[in-house]
């Protein structure tokens, strides 16, 4: 299963401060100018291979052209393996340009999540995990600070063999390999 979506990354967590004083975190980075895309891959025929994660961070937001560039990287990452990509209703996912490009890709099959169903998307749980740990209260001044913290979160998630599977399990979705045709 895979998904690519641009998201703001600001998240707030509790912190310590003297009684009666609200802590204020100051930073110069405009969080609205950072976009992230991710694809969580689960191998249906061989679950023992483990989940794989593709991740992309860029200044600004994602549009059709930039998502196609990311998908070209996903194609290289999966080295010719067939990919089923599960997407939500982001406008760049549904654009004419994206549909035309995807129609010409024999390695890619697109499936769509129902509208307003983030609970069905394992990548939402990935974002939540990273935002509530590595990106919580982050006061970086540059996009590189966000990239470094996010990369630490990605390594944390990938180093835990069960965590990416728990994201899929939590959605209630399952992977069923296609049965060979007789």
Hey, which of 5-9, 111-115, 153-157, 158-162 has the most confident mean pLDDT? 153-157
% of the chain beyond a pLDDT of 70: 80
CA distance 70 to 38: 9
% of the chain beyond a pLDDT of 90: 17
Question: What does 78-125 look like in DSSP terms, one character per residue?
Answer: TTT--EEEEE---HHHHSHHHHHHHHT-TTEEEEEPPTT-GGG-HHHH
Q: Which residue has the tokens 């509208």?
A: 115
CA distance 69 to 57: 12
Beta partners for residue 110, in sequence order: 85
A 10 A CB-CB count for 19 gives: 4
Q: 145-171, pLDDT tens digit by residue?
A: 888 898 899 899 989 888 988 888 888
State yes or no: pLDDT of 18 exceeds 80: no
Question: What does 4-36 look like in DSSP terms, one character per residue?
Answer: -------B-------TT----------GGGEEE
Q: 27-59, pLDDT tens digit by residue?
A: 565 555 678 888 888 877 776 777 888 888 888
Q: 63-92, pLDDT tens digit by residue?
A: 899 999 999 998 998 887 888 888 877 777
**pTM listed for this prediction:** 0.72
CA distance 141 to 119: 32
CA distance 53 to 177: 20
């Amino acid at each position: 299963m895979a998904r690519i979506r641009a998201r703001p990354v600001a998240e707030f967590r509790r912190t310590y401060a003297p009684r009666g004083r609200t802590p204020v975190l100051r930073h110069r980075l405009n969080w609205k100018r950072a976009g992230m895309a991710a694809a969580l891959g689960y191998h249906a025929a061989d679950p023992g291979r483990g989940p794989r994660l593709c991740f992309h961070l860029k200044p600004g937001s994602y549009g059709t052209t930039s998502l196609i560039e990311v998908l070209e990287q996903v194609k290289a990452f999966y080295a010719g393996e067939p990919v089923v990509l599960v997407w939500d209703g982001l406008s760049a996912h549904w654009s004419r340009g994206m549909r035309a490009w995807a129609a010409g890709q024999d390695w890619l099959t697109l499936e769509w999540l129902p509208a307003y169903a983030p609970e069905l998307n394992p990548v939402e749980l990935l974002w939540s995990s990273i935002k509530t740990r590595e990106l919580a209260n982050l006061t970086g001044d540059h996009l590189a600070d966000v990239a470094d913290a996010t990369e630490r979160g990605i390594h944390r998630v990938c180093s835990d063999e069960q965590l990416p599977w728990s994201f899929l399990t939590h959605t209630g979705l399952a992977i069923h390999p296609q049965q060979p045709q007789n």
